[in-house]
Chain A
Amino acid sequence: MRRTQAQVVIALALLVAAAAGGHAEDAAGLRPKVTALLGRFPAANGADRDALAAEILKLGPAAVTEVCGRVLPPGGGDDSAARFALNGVAVYAARSGAERDRLLAVRAILDAARKAADKDVKAFLISQVQLAGGAEAVKPLAAYLTDERLAEPAAQALLAIRAPGTEAAFLKALDAAPSPLRVTIVKALGELRGREAVRKLIPLASSSDDRLRQTALFALANIGDPAAGPVLERARLAAPLYERSGAPALYLLYARRLVESGRAAEGLAVARSILKYYSAPAESHVAANALGLVVSVLKDRALPDLLAVLDSPSAKLRGAALELAGVIPGSDASQRWVEKAAEASPAARAEIVAMLGRRGDRAALPAVREALRSPDQAVRLAAIPAAVRLGGADVLPDIYPFFSSPEAEEVAAAKEALLGFEAGRVVPEAARLIEETPPAGRAALIGVLAAKGARDRIDLVFAQAQSSEPSVRAAAIAGLAALAEEKDQARLLELLYAASDSEETANLQKAIAAAAGRNSDPERRADGLIGFMAVAPAAKRAALLRVLPRVPGIKALQAAVDATHDKDPQVQSAAVYALSQWPDFKAAGELVRIVSTTANKKFLLTALEGYVRLINGSDVPAWKKLDLLASAVSLPKDDADKKAVLRGIAECRGPAAFHMLAGFLDDKELRATAAQALLGMAADEAPEERWLSGHEAISILRRVEAQADDPAEKEQVSRMIADRLRQGGYIPFFNGRDLGGWKGLVADPPARAKMTAEEMKKAQAAADERMRAHWRVADGLLVFDGQGESLCTLKDYADFEMLVDWKIGKAGDSGIYLRGSPQVQIWDPEANPEGSGGLYNNQKNPRKPLEKADRPVGEWNTFRIIMIGERVTVYLNDRMVVDNTVLENYWERDKPIYPLGQIELQAHGNPLWFRDIYVREIPRDAAAPVLAESEKDEGFIALFDGSGLGGWTGDTEGYRAEDGRIVVHPELGGGNLYTEREYADFVLRFDFKLTPGANNGIGIRAPLEGDAAYAGMEIQVLEDGSPVYWTLQPYQYHGSVYGVVPALRGILRPVGEWNTEEITARGRRITVVVNGTRIVETDLDQASAGGTIDYRDHPGLSRERGHIGFLGHGSIVDFRNLRVKELK
């Protein structure tokens, strides 16, 4: 039997893997067991992981070896289960008191690392040894210290383990290692801090290799052996400019290590020499550092050193000394600082005074108090908080005069000082002083009264609110907001009516609302205001209305509504504004009424904006918000107003809002607003929301891109699309610059399989030459000149999803070859009315597209091609033209399509253009998971044993048990399949995998007869990312209780990948969780109160029990790992 080249490649890869796995006969028996165990990774939690790891360890070292063998080089395929498993084994084996497990695991992993061919794989294995390794790992790890790629991970592992013999191993490797690796080893020796290394490191400290020299200096400094002192000092003096700042730090590190190892005098000498040498301001941070060491050695005896530093011109160094002053407590030391302050420069004096305040030694109070009268402002400013801190209320008489200071900073400092006291201490004097203090100080004093809650001084504050000084007025009004109560409202209103400044008006409104808010009965808060409104003239009514939203309640709302009918237009306007600002949803009805009835454009926009704001701020589910917003769009007649609604829609971030906004891209007036909102959503900093790389979102962004007029904006959108696709795992395939990633075509797959490697190489070189002659890149497009052959991807693909834009000329013909085989058809739709996209070479399966979705010749078309197993789905310009159809093998008609192969852009004798080519590889299935121990303990029972349909009834022909899965076969029936048993309250968990556009459903509490969606309940199963379904209602999306409760969209994994789902039915509550996100949580009675949202009868909602089942809809869907727990 002939084999294709691809099959040979796979076979070879298996052989290599088997060889790496160790003893073939051991591995053969273990392999299925290990595979089954790996299928259960990642574990649901730590306990499960430990249980799984224990099972692996129980199988012995060969099992660990087998798992290690399944770790692949990066990019070599999905090996995450193996990596999860190995890490699980390492973590489990490293628990305390499990020496046998630990040794078994570590030895097996080390052994596998030794045998592994790929260095990235070795590095991963070493990193697992780092977690669990002990003394036994030292020698094997040390062997890697001379390997360029592995020295680093091995050194890190050795440093983490720190077993005896480590230093010797590093020293040995130091001699043998090539020069670049010595940095790694030297650094490790430095971190180990063994003395043995010093002798060998000293010569390296004068190496001409910069990195090695620097690292050796670090190592010597960190070890802190006196033998290295001269070397480190010399290095500091002789250091090249670039190393200037590093060298003293190392010298100081050395000094610190000396002190730590009991050589305090030697360490101190080094520190003092640094302190002296680096005292210039630009380098004083080094000196500050040394000063810290001096203090840590001398403790109390370091005071003279600290005092001396205060003469330094460097503020940084002085600051460091004052920070360190706290280390030496006591009044004697305080006294020395006071003396120092007297003779120091003004700047240093201010710093010392501030420090004395922080120090909290009352002995310094007289001096600090004296400093309040210093001629130097910096000193005075430092003295104010310091004096208060030391003297408390006693010094207040010294502080009050500062309120009359012409310096704003001194006033502010005085105010801050007062705020630290209780009200009784400061309020009387502050109030007394107000009259006689200049404006700046007066405003500050009013602020003190307000902050201290001096209600009994409110008359004084009212009087100041009429001051001619704006700053005083502002402070007084702010003070009133803090102090006023309901009974003060009349006086506040007088101020409000008289106010002309808009900021003052706003602050007064706040004050009035604050006063009303102090009434303990929320419903009576507005009473006072409403009473005033009844008697006030128009201008005053308008002013009062603006306060109402701040005092919400039914009465206030009614008053605002009444005012919309006021005769005075100014009052009407204020009333509409007030409603638009209402804080709760109660105003919504009125706002809608205004929007639908008013003839006043301004009222309409105000009310509409208010309504949108209320919707977005309400706590209804997202779909309900969108529902309300959708109806709000039709309220106004004017597009300018609709824009407000569009912006509101954008705030309901998610696929549904995205979809809704896209609906406005065809509206000439609203297009720009919609596009802006869409881009805002896609450009938001949220890093990865899967739906943004999905079919619908990308398709919408493409429309925005096509419509953009400004080339810069077009470019921006195009980059955004590329980013989102990348995040979704789509690899760009064509870089827009050259033919990187592509190769020329050599013969056909059967012919290629027969060629030797040498022949192949030669033929490929010739083919590449031909490719370069006829395919080229121009203006970011991939262009074919009409002669020559197809363009092929460098790599082979198994399952994948491909995006590609193409364009042809009149009578043009081309196609996309999948796995080296023809083809998804491209041709001139005028000459071929069936259109493009069909699987042209099929004989048994459909070959024509489902519909013609081509754009006219000369325009760009977009394919989205999904190939999983033998089946292919094609979307052309977002229309499904091939529905999950088997692609036949054209080259060898008696065989199924090859499992692997290159993708080709077909040359067919005419010019072609391609762009925006992306491929997302879809991982092939790992083994089906089985019911986990922890779930068994929880009470879950498997609904499906993985091999047959025992326990199931209904259409047992249309569903098959295959490889641990239940697979729907529409061609065999694919009707409904039910459990034989009935369930009432339960938790159902399962995995499912969808094909493009797939539709199925989970029936729950269903009878065996009738349409389960109505006679029972259907939890929808739908590939709702497919364009086929973009117009569905929210209650039809995946996970919804069909027709009754909408589900959150955008959670499904891309087509071809497994999803997990959990359905909980507990009494009237239904919860659906998909991939860890709760997408439905509902109470059936509430959801169906007043009729269901699909306006259909759902008698099944009242059923208390019934069968669980799959509701077939003619699509292929896979289910696995079905388990159920009954709730009592």
Chain B
Amino acid sequence: MADLVSYVIRKLILAIPVILLATLIVFLMLYMTGDPINVLAPPHASVEQMDALREKYGLDEPFYVQYGVFLWNLVHGDLGVSVGAATRDLEVGDLVVQRLPRTLELMAIGLSLSYSIGIPLGIFSALRHNSLGDRSVMVFTLLAYAMPSFWLGILFMWLFAVYLGVLPLGGTTGGFASIILPAMTLGIGNAALTTRMMRSSMLEVIRQDYITQLRSRGLPEREIIYKHAVKNAILPVITVIGLDIGWFVAGSVVVETVFSWPGIGMLITTSISNSDFPVVRGCILVLALFVIAGNLIADVLYAYVDPRVRLG
């Protein structure tokens, strides 16, 4: 256990430069958008007014000072203030925190959906290797993977909300029914990947000697598959759950926009169209932290399952 703890600590230290890169990228991002004074200042502002605003927001400082101030504020939980018309001077941190539960909710349901589709489908496919069923599943995964999430979302919307009229079109007013379509859209692409991983992992396991040995001992096939094979085959699939967070983070931006789901992703899109870049920066930074955390989880899970990793 001690080696696992030291492994986690080592990984945490290694995450620091990654977090710094994330902050640098989002900082550069805002820096590249040009002089924010054009958004901040009222039309026909005088030069003095503009200078005053520049000083207020620290825009008269050189690049590295601005980045330093940004980092310093960040460490103190200050992500800056919004410059959008509707949310002028509101704390970016507050705006993000407000939206955070929605995104987490969507990601959690999408993630559970993708696993509850992907794992059974992968097992099914592996057990009927090369059958018609297996081939159909493979075609499904190919299609699901090739489908950009916004297009899948639009199709779902058309089918379930417009044509069948059984689920709400978007927003959050429909209660739990509202989250079904966005979560499904978000989950299916990952379900395809999970299916493939589960299938190949299962195929590998059921060809191993110990499975043959169990068979020769006359154990019922059900028991062999579900008690022994699945248990081993599922491990590599579960350990990458942390990496899936990256997929979901990226997907949530698009899916939330399609379904007007008021999470961080949609905040990014609306803020981009309002040229409210401090908010975009805050949101992307928070999503990046999610990804980093997800990678950490993946590393730790992997090390937990496979001791060779943490000792190596």
Do chains A and B stick together as partners? no
